[in-house]
Amino acid sequence: MTKHPPRPIVTDTELNISEADCLSNELAAEGLHVPNDWQKKWTERFNNVIGSKELEQTLAELIEDTKTTHQGTETPRTRTMGEPPPRQERQSYHRQLRQRRHRVNQYDATMASRIQKLYRYSRTRAIREVTEAESAFCKILSNELHDHFTSVFQRGEPTDPTMPMEVPPYTECSTDDQNPFAGGFTPEEVWAQLHRCGNMAPGPDGLRYAHWKQLDRGGYALNAVFNVIYRLDHTPQAWGESTTILLHKKGEKSEISNWRPISLSRTIAKLYSSILANRLG
């Protein structure tokens, strides 16, 4: 009788690895991104969050870890599509730019390349650098700015709370109507919306959309964040904070009324809002 060698015992660890490999192959075949160790770690942490306080703490740790990890993955002299350099280099660049404006019929390949990249990143800023010699920052004293905008945005007289006759009465939605907010989020939905976001200015946490695109390809970590927010019905308090800057509209820059304040919110909060808005159509 021929003796066959014993069949190898497949351990749970080997089975899990095999399942993970199969999942990775399926995702790759569908053109999706395979979650990395960083994404798996934060996905697991947020999936285990059970309270609002724990959510606030875990989200704060994610933000700090995202900034630290992104700094560690950055290579020297690499910026996003013409992103302006640090302040010291920018001031030196503006001095050189003013000097070169006096040189007629001279072509500077380095400066031309930088303007081209900046134009793809932000057309407005590229045109402003070429046409304006002065700084675009507001130089009006802070106490004058505070007094002016306090008077502009002060609370006025209460309005009449009576609903106008033109507004139709509110009717309860039928239970048969499809609720666009009834289901949770998916990584595909998060990544698709994140992929459409441009590289806008960051909020108080200093994170741009480019940071999330680089570290969370496929939207797995952000998907876990949004789902726990949906599950606990709790919006992080930090998302109510913003950074206010002044943009010059027109006219003399010494005139306060020619400056318009805008608020820069956190990109993660804006992404969450844009996904909800997208569900509404």
Stated as kind and residue range, the H or E segment containing 259 is strand 259-264
pLDDT category at 264 given cuts 50, 70, 90 is very high
Q: Examine residue 270 and state whether it is found in any structural domain, yes or no.
A: yes
| Rounded distance between C-alpha atoms, residue 235 and residue 112, angstroms | 45
Question: Looking at this protein, which amino acid is placed at residue 213?
Answer: K
Q: What is the percent of the chain with per-residue pLDDT over 90, rounded to a whole number? A: 36
Q: What pLDDT, in 10s, does the model give residues 8-53?
A: 433 433 434 444 445 455 554 455 678 999 999 999 999 999 999 9
Most confident of 155-159, 162-166, 238-242: 238-242
Of 77 and 171, the structure prediction assigns the larger pLDDT to 171
Q: How many separate helices (H) and strands (E) can be counted in the chain?
A: 11, 2
What pLDDT is stored for residue 191 in this prediction?
Answer: 96
| Rounded distance between C-alpha atoms, residue 21 and residue 42, angstroms | 20
Tell me: pLDDT of 226 over 60: yes
What pLDDT is stored for residue 28 in this prediction?
Answer: 47
Q: Examine residue 229 and state whether it is found in any structural domain, yes or no.
A: yes
Mean pLDDT of 138-161: 84
What is the number of structural domains in the chain? 1
- Cα pseudo-dihedral 15, 19, 21, 25, rounded to 10: 160
Q: What pLDDT, in 10s, does the model give residues 100-110?
A: 555 545 667 77
Q: Examine residue 240 and state whether it is found in any structural domain, yes or no.
A: yes
CA torsion sign for 261, 262, 265, 269 is: positive
What pLDDT is stored for residue 74 in this prediction?
Answer: 52
Q: Examine residue 226 and state whether it is found in any structural domain, yes or no.
A: yes
What pLDDT is stored for residue 179 in this prediction?
Answer: 78
Q: Examine residue 96 and state whether it is found in any structural domain, yes or no.
A: no
Q: Examine residue 148 and state whether it is found in any structural domain, yes or no.
A: yes
What pLDDT is stored for residue 31 in this prediction?
Answer: 52
Most confident of 13-22, 115-124, 235-244, 253-262: 235-244
Q: How many CB atoms lie within 10 A of CB 92?
A: 11
Q: Examine residue 246 and state whether it is found in any structural domain, yes or no.
A: yes
Q: Examine residue 191 and state whether it is found in any structural domain, yes or no.
A: yes
* Domain containing residue 62: 52-74+136-153+183-280
Cβ distance 97 to 129 under 8 Å? yes
* Average pLDDT of the chain to the nearest whole number: 78
